[in-house]
């Protein structure tokens, strides 16, 4: 496994060692001992989630507050997405900055999104099956989010605006600045 650091502290891109032959391919998608040793983290994933979406769907930008915060290890089982992590940790050197990486069934890359980050993705292929591990259980009343089209964040979702399929809930989220004021500057 190759670990690539991003510009956001703790947010890591993982490229697995893939073994191919005439039968197809094999790779180890997760090994807790190796992951913890090679990343220097102590992560204990407790929940797996999967979603299936069509081209143009954007899910996010979401996170969980306080003791319910989640770290995630995300990957694509089918198709391709642009995956985005936004540093929402007040006091961080990269607060308000984001990384965007293409994850696909073909490249088999994974992104580790630390606690305190907003997360979202946009489907670039006809369909995509998205899978992620979480180190904490989902708690609906601890969820918060940010407008994924926030002009201050200026995320390039690699889709034309008329292609975007966004849930009603996500269309009515506050800007990054408004959300930070609401949840962290009380």
Q: Which of the residues in the chain have pLDDT under 70?
A: 186
* Contact call for residues 69 and 110 (beta carbons, < 8 A): no
**171: number of Cβ within 10 Å:** 11
- Please name which of 70, 21, 23 lies closest in space to residue 49, comparing C-alpha atoms: 70
**pLDDT tens digits for range 135-176:** 999 999 999 999 999 999 999 999 999 999 999 999 999 999
What is the per-residue pLDDT for 186? 67
Residue entry with tokens 């800007």 = 175
Per the annotation, the verdict on 119 as an active-site residue is no
SS3 182: helix
Please give the Cα distance from 16 to 4 (Å, whole number): 11
Residues near 55 by Cβ (< 8 Å), separated by ≥ 6?
A: 123, 124, 125, 126, 127, 163
Average pLDDT, the chain: 96
> What does the pLDDT read at residue 185?
82
Q: Helix or strand or coil: residue 165?
A: strand
Active-site residue identified among 19, 25, 62, 138: 62
Q: Where are the alpha helices (DSSP H) in 8-66?
A: 32-39
Q: Measure the N-to-C terminal CA separation of the chain; round to a whole number of Å.
A: 42
Catalytic status, residue 98: no
Q: Which of 98, 132, 137, 172 is catalytic?
A: 132
């Amino acid at each position: 496994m190759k670990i690539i650091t991003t510009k956001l502290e703790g947010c890591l891109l993982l490229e697995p060692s893939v073994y191919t032959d005439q039968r197809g391919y094999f790779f180890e998608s997760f090994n807790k001992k190796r992951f913890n040793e090679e990343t220097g983290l102590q992560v204990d994933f407790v929940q797996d989630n999967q979603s299936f979406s069509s081209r143009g769907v954007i899910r996010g930008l979401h996170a969980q507050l306080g003791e319910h915060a989640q770290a995630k290890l995300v990957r694509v089982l089918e198709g391709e997405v642009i995956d985005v992590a936004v540093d929402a940790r007040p006091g961080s050197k990269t607060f308000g900055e984001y990384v965007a990486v293409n994850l696909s069934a073909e490249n088999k890359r994974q992104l580790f999104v630390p606690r305190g980050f907003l997360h979202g993705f946009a489907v670039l292929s006809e369909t995509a099956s998205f899978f992620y591990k979480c180190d904490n259980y989902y708690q609906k009343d601890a969820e918060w989010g940010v407008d994924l089209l926030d002009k201050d964040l200026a995320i390039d979702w690699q889709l034309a605006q008329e292609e975007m399929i966004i849930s009603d809930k996500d269309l009515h989220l506050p800007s990054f600045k408004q959300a930070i004021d609401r949840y962290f500057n009380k």
